[in-house]
Amino acid sequence: METDEMLTVFDREMREHARPDGPGTRVERAGDVVRRTGGADDWNGVVWTAPGLSPGRARTEIAAQVEYYTALGIPEFEWKLYAHDDPPGLGALLSAAGFAAEPPETLLVAPAADLAAPAELPEGLTLRTVTDAAGVELMVRAHELAFGTDGSRLRHQSLARLAEAPDTFVAVVVTAGDEPVSSARMELYPGTGFAGLWGGGTSAPWRGRGVYRALVAHRARIAADLGYRFLQVDATGLSAPILGRLGFTALGTTTPYVYRTTP
């Protein structure tokens, strides 16, 4: 499939017809946007904008989403802007309305079957599937060590997925003895050909030893076995080169624009 064709499929399946990403969340078409809404600890925001959106309509939609999420008491929400979204200059309109741009990410896609393989880890490391609260705690600790960020939201979302939608969620953690050193997740989107890879990160002492690549291969094998054709990643500058070497194709870039409704 050509890159432009794949991007069209991705926009249609994963954005315009987005699914709820967890228990208690909902997706709705509101005017010229599609938005996903949940609780304060869920991901909230705009995932799609109508092609051909004019600057005037964009300003109207921006104001409407700010009003909507503020009225719900959601402390922050995101407008997920893709480089090919209309109108040109939408990022500037979002900034003018009080949104803060975070670092851009690369949208990458690869055939799951091409990357599926056993996870080959360095000696002394063990791969564990997260199936309960204890596993979630290990995963959260690994995530915090790798990224230096608070894992409270990840804990909430992972526990909810395991309890209410375990068939759409795969999480793994790599340990050295009892200590977590790496973790990764995969979200499955029934009704589409896509599985999303998220959160792959390894603590500093274990980087550069193939752990990240092993977790990609492991999740690819699960996705392929379940009948998903493609893996999708929003990759940071650190992981994008690795994924490119593994065979992922860049479809474009996406920039999170975050609006905080409370100081």
Q: Rounded to an integer, what distance in angstroms lies between the CA atom of residue 101 and that of residue 106?
A: 15
Residue 74, CB half-sphere, CA atoms under 13 Å: how many? 22
What is the Cα gyration radius of the chain?
18
pLDDT in tens, 149-198: 999 999 999 999 999 889 999 999 999 999 999 999 999 998 899 999 99
252: left (phi over 0), alpha (psi -120 to 50) or beta: left
Q: Rounded to an integer, what distance in angstroms lies between the CA atom of residue 9 and that of residue 4?
A: 9
pLDDT in tens, 2-38: 899 999 999 999 999 999 887 889 999 999 999 999 9
pLDDT in tens, 203-220: 999 999 999 999 999 999
Domain range annotation of the chain: 3-106+254-260, 111-251
User: 3-106+254-260, superfamily in CATH?
Assistant: Gcn5-related N-acetyltransferase (GNAT) (3.40.630.30)
Q: Rounded to an integer, what distance in angstroms lies between the CA atom of residue 39 and that of residue 252?
A: 30
Q: What is the pTM of this model?
A: 0.92
SS3 sequence of 190-234:
CCCCEEEEEEEEECHHHCCCCHHHHHHHHHHHHHHHCCCCEEEEE
The two domains 3-106+254-260 and 111-251 share their CATH topology (first three levels equal): yes
CATH number of 111-251: 3.40.630.30
